[in-house]
Amino acid sequence: MIKVIEMLAPAGHKCRSGRKLTGFRGVTIHNTGNAGRGADALAHARYLQGGGKDTAASWHYCVDEHRATRSIPESEAAWHAGDGGEPGNMQTVAIEICMNADGDLRKATENAAVLAADILARHGIRNAEGHLYQHHDWSGKDCPQMIRAGRPCNWPAFCGKVQGYLDGKEKDMTEAEAEKIIQEACGFEDQTIQFLKAYRYHEALLTKLAAAIQKGGAL
Ligand SMILES: [Zn+2]
């Protein structure tokens, strides 16, 4: 996981909607549109704490080659999608990818893929398909402008990176986590789980079952 620095924009100002997300559809990807030197994640977070706090434009995360900054709590809507509130603003979490001239676009984009996978996994989503959006999907704006221009990779490649990180998380799942996921999904008694564990058709049986549940597959 990349380092996330909490730098929340001050509540009560226009950049903070103060409204809870009405659901979770996934993650909306942006490029900052700012190629200026020094326009990194810290600079963008500071902007929302200062000069930008009274403008109705905001994002949850901004990512550069070193870190992510969080400006809006994940459970609160940010004003990033330009769709008038539904569902881009009200049901997705925004990641801005830095494109400053003195930054490393490739690394920043990779970090954004890691963060997107983390957000999706925390919402129980293991198959990224249908849960990754471009700003363009909501408002028609040419954003994320760098990815849309194939820099450092095109959209399908970016989505593939996110899926790759989600697949990696499956391998990291512990047996205890797998048990919890299976019990919640299937309502199995402890005894049944013990039976499954004892069955040991394959070392990773529980992990594979849990991953199948999270991908929406049938048992
Ligand atoms: Zn955008």
Q: pLDDT, tens digit, for every residue of 139-190?
A: 999 999 999 999 999 999 999 999 999 998 877 777 777 777 777 778 888 8
Distance in Å, CA 96 to ligand 1 centroid: 7
CA torsion, points 13, 14, 18, 19, in degrees to nearest 10? Answer: 180
Distance in Å, CA 68 to ligand 1 centroid: 16
Distance in Å, CA 21 to ligand 1 centroid: 18
Please, what is the angle between helix 205-214 and helix 175-186, to 10°?
50
Distance in Å, CA 28 to ligand 1 centroid: 8
CB distance 106 to 150 below 8 Å: no
pLDDT of 217 above 70 = no
Q: What is the mean pLDDT of the chain?
A: 91
Q: Which long-range contacts (CB under 8 A, 24 or more apart) does 44-49 make?
A: 44/69, 44/71, 44/96, 44/98, 45/5, 45/7, 45/69, 45/70, 45/71, 46/7, 48/7, 48/9, 48/15, 49/7, 49/8, 49/9, 49/10
- 102 contacts: CB under 8 Å, gap ≥ 6: 37, 38
pLDDT, average across residues 103-124: 96
Comparing CA positions, the residue from 127, 130, 213, 203 lying closest to residue 165 is 127
Q: Tell me, what's the pLDDT at 18?
A: 96
- 8 contacts: CB under 8 Å, gap ≥ 6: 49, 70, 71, 72, 73
The least confident of 18-22, 63-67, 207-211 is 207-211
Distance in Å, CA 143 to ligand 1 centroid: 5
Q: Tell me, what's the pLDDT at 169?
A: 82
Comparing CA positions, the residue from 155, 148, 215 lying closest to residue 181 is 215
> What is 4-171's CATH superfamily?
Peptidoglycan recognition protein-like (3.40.80.10)
Distance in Å, CA 58 to ligand 1 centroid: 10
pLDDT, average across residues 44-61: 97
pLDDT, average across residues 194-199: 76
Distance in Å, CA 188 to ligand 1 centroid: 44
pTM: 0.81
pLDDT of 36 above 90 = yes
CA torsion, points 170, 154, 95, 145, in degrees to nearest 10? Answer: 180
Show me where the domains of the chain are located: 4-171, 173-214
